[in-house]
Amino acid sequence: MATKVLLLALAICRLIVTVGLEMVAVPTEVLRLGIEGELSLDRRDVERASNDFGKLRRAEPLAVVHPASAEDIVRVIQTAYEWGYGLTVSARGHGHSINGQAQSSKGVVIEMSSERRRTSAAATTKVNEKERYVEVWGGELWIQVLRATLEYGLAPMSWTDYLYLSVGGTLSNAGISGQTFNHGPQISNVLELDVVTGKGELLTCSNERNSKLFHAVLGGLGQFGIITRARIALEPAPHRVRWIRVLYSNFAVFTKDQEFLISLHGKPARQRFDYVEGFVIVDEGLINNWRSSFFSPSNPVKISSLKADGGVLYCLEIAKNYREGDADIIDQEIESLLNKLDFIPSSVFTTDLSYVDFLDRVHKAELKLRAKSLWDVPHPWLNLFVPKSRIADFDRGVFKGILGNKTSGPILIYPMNKNKWDQRSSVVTPDEDVFYLVAFLRSALDTESLDYLTYQNRQILRFCDDADIGVKQYLPHYTTQEEWMDHFGDKWDQFYQRKMQFDPRRILATGQRIFMPFTSTTTITNDVM
């Protein structure tokens, strides 16, 4: 314990030297600090915490904490809060952010998903089979949650496309995938949280208890507290999934069918699909890429042969979950639904796989890319919520305009129902009943392509601004106060007041670049970084 205390004292001293503050004695509160986990200054730990999946921004922390429990996080944040010289704290899950949102320059990064914590009591996932919920550590990965709940024949209802993300990380944003139209985002399926606020308070919160903190943290970008425990609703898990893809050459028909399918969210399961997504194809090479691999190599699909509108094709992805005993009737249910759609008749591609394999499909693609050294590269991703009323304008201006015929990665597009989102959360979405996610998931293999894709992202945002499309960024990245205030719109005042209540010294998640860290010489004002 003495070693851990010394390391933290050294880290804080290093902070003072780095930022040029007058050297003062380390307070006795720091010297008495003891955590059960590990506080590390090891270069490998620091380097890991300095980077993320995006590889677009690097920020080196002073120290990395591998907590054994929520109490360790409480001690770290209390120390930073009482110290008052700008020591910041960021929680890092799987490090899958794009623009350094989980980094902490001259601060402490808490590794929530650390393998070193796996044997601690906090790592235990608890399934309540009777009440149908699971309680998990905030740093647990969704793939681990799935494995634990399937032992009881249960599973969460709402997912992300990629399961190697932390529970706390996705709940700090929203957590969306093809089930969102029906069950809402992951934040709409949370029953209770344990949160360590920016004042070092460990609080349990829910709709009924500490509700203001509960709704602030959900989609709150890590600004109000670190999620240490989440209670997530479950449902009976299906055994298998019938996964179908069909193609469209007309955007209006494509969106009409997508919007029809999500309008069935209130229907019995037999009268709707369980998953609705889609993607845009502007590059023939992408139609059989890692995300589209179930198209038969012996029967390749050519954009030119399908008379694509403006050289662009649109692929609708739909899936039907079923249990082993229902295999005989699933074909009838699917046929009934497909008969109501207007896709290209010759373009139906179907595969059948286990529920786990379907949910974990992107990880299998990851392994292929890693084998080719194509995974650990810069990812200048851009995720936008586009209002339904302007999605056709977006198609003309971006898919058929700005993109050209080289995309460097998948472009997802699918609609969601706003009434499935709790407006009390911190998330902001377009003010329409239906809005689309458009996700540009591109990879840059060299500096030239990174510069090009970054410039193209700016072109897309500039087009949306000039055309007054009314988009909102998902996983937002801004650097000025004006941009953040515009992003939150009518929610900005509430967001700011919540920040002042739960993290008044602006200790948490400074990598988001929303608020300047507070120091003993700082006046609390409405400032961003």
Averages of pLDDT over runs of 10 residues in the chain (529 residues) are 48 50 41 76 93 94 93 94 86 95 92 68 80 97 97 98 97 98 98 98 98 98 98 98 96 98 96 97 59 50 62 94 90 96 94 97 91 93 98 97 84 98 98 98 94 96 98 95 95 98 96 84 51
Instruction: Compute the Cα dihedral for 304, 309, 311, 317 and give only its sign.
Output: negative
- Point out the catalytic residue in the list 277, 317, 360, 395: 277
- Residue 307 is predicted with a pLDDT of 65
Task: Reply yes or no on whether 96 is catalytic.
Answer: yes
Locate tokens 């507070």: which residue? Answer: 518
User: Which pLDDT does position 162 carry in this prediction?
Assistant: 97
Q: Are 502 and 224 in contact (CB under 8 A)?
A: yes
Per-residue pLDDT at 24 = 37
Check residue 325 and give its pLDDT: 84
- DSSP class per residue in 227-293: EEEEEEEEEEPPSEEEEEEEEES-HHHHHHHHHHHHTTTTS-GGGS-SEEEEEEE-SGGGGGSGGGT
Q: Ramachandran region of residue 471, left (φ > 0), alpha (ψ -120 to 50) or beta?
A: beta
Q: Which residues of 28-65 are buried (b: 16+ CB within 10 A; e: fewer)?
A: eebeebebbbbbbeeeebbeebbbbbbbbbebbbbbbb
| 161 assigned to active site | yes
* Candidate list 66, 94, 96, 379, residue with the active-site label: 96
Choose, from 38, 52, 140, 161, the residue flagged as catalytic.
161
